[in-house]
Homo-oligomer: A and B are copies of this chain.
């Protein structure tokens, strides 16, 4: 299989709930006005805590510094696994499950932090630029690795990378097993022809910028059975949307499409306290057992928590599995 290091240098940022109005102007430009921006990688995810915005440096320029904007200090690079058809996989699963053993587990073992961004089209594995040499040396046995620069893919090997292997020297640690939350709402993962984006503009603007009550308390929201979660991304011209069925009903049914008819997903939110960006192995902890059971999963990291989406019909076995995992961790 091929692994591509994409030609985007990304920032991971968070806008506070109360500060969103201050960022409406640049965000609407980034979402709807393709001719006015050179941003090619944009993702906005609303959670009860905040809005996570992941975007390239062209997009990042649009965001004015503010008390409402938090910016993670690193440059992140998106990796993307491309099945080149030669590899016959017995798995029918999609999403991070496909890359759990080949990418996510090895990176976790090398203590490389990853920030996952699943979309309708593919799964982006974001790694820090400073970890790139470790990433390459870790994954080059399994993958043909290419670096994309200005539309050209160039094969890379660890010796090509300056400084060579910069293996993270930490000892293997037993990862913390984080508490999980399994809200009751059902989610859909959808896409949209970019040319029809104007048709849903006012609905999307309403949902993204005007649907949160300013009085919403993230702590009380965490106690609720249903979680506020809405994700929009526009990456290299492809649109992906993740929303619950309540939000979905607000959009015209004929414009948004999903892979299989009406496939619904349930969410597992990982983390009791905000996870931060330095802990490794969080994605691996969830994706490994899902891969063992061949259960599809989308995975979306945000500024505070991680979110896995698993098929509705698998939520009982996933819940059992997570329960078992947590029982083992507390008894060990």
Binding site for B on A (CB under 8 A): 20-22, 24-26, 28-29, 32-33, 36, 197-199, 201-203, 205-206, 209-210
Most chain-B CB neighbours within 10 Å: which of A20, A209, A210? A210
Q: How far is the CB of A84 from chain B (nearest CB, A)?
A: 37
When the two chains form their complex, are residues B201 and A29 in contact, meaning their CB atoms are under 8 A apart? no
Q: How far is the CB of A270 from chain B (nearest CB, A)?
A: 32
In the docked arrangement, what's the CA distance between A132 and B32, Å?
45
When the two chains form their complex, are residues B202 and A32 in contact, meaning their CB atoms are under 8 A apart? yes
When the two chains form their complex, are residues A32 and B199 in contact, meaning their CB atoms are under 8 A apart? no
In the docked arrangement, what's the CA distance between A165 and B292, Å?
88
In the docked arrangement, what's the CA distance between A203 and B28, Å?
12
Q: How far is the CB of A29 from chain B (nearest CB, A)?
A: 6
Q: CB within 8 A of A36: which of B198, B199, B210? A: B210
In the docked arrangement, what's the CA distance between A28 and B25, Å?
10
* Chain B residues, Cβ within 8 Å of A24: 24-25, 28
* Chain B residues, Cβ within 8 Å of A26: 21
In the docked arrangement, what's the CA distance between A22 and B201, Å?
20
Q: CB within 8 A of A210: which of B21, B29, B202, B209? A: B29
* Chain B residues, Cβ within 8 Å of A203: 198
Q: CB within 8 A of A205: which of B22, B28, B199, B206? A: B28
Most chain-B CB neighbours within 10 Å: which of A25, A28, A29, A32? A25
Q: How far is the CB of A328 from chain B (nearest CB, A)?
A: 48
When the two chains form their complex, are residues B209 and A198 in contact, meaning their CB atoms are under 8 A apart? no
* Chain B residues, Cβ within 8 Å of A21: 25-26
Most chain-B CB neighbours within 10 Å: which of A21, A22, A198, A202? A202
Q: Which residue of B lies closest to A34 (CB)?
A: B202
When the two chains form their complex, are residues B209 and A25 in contact, meaning their CB atoms are under 8 A apart? yes
Q: How far is the CB of A42 from chain B (nearest CB, A)?
A: 16
Q: CB within 8 A of A28: which of B28, B29, B33, B36? A: B28
In the docked arrangement, what's the CA distance between A26 and B24, Å?
10
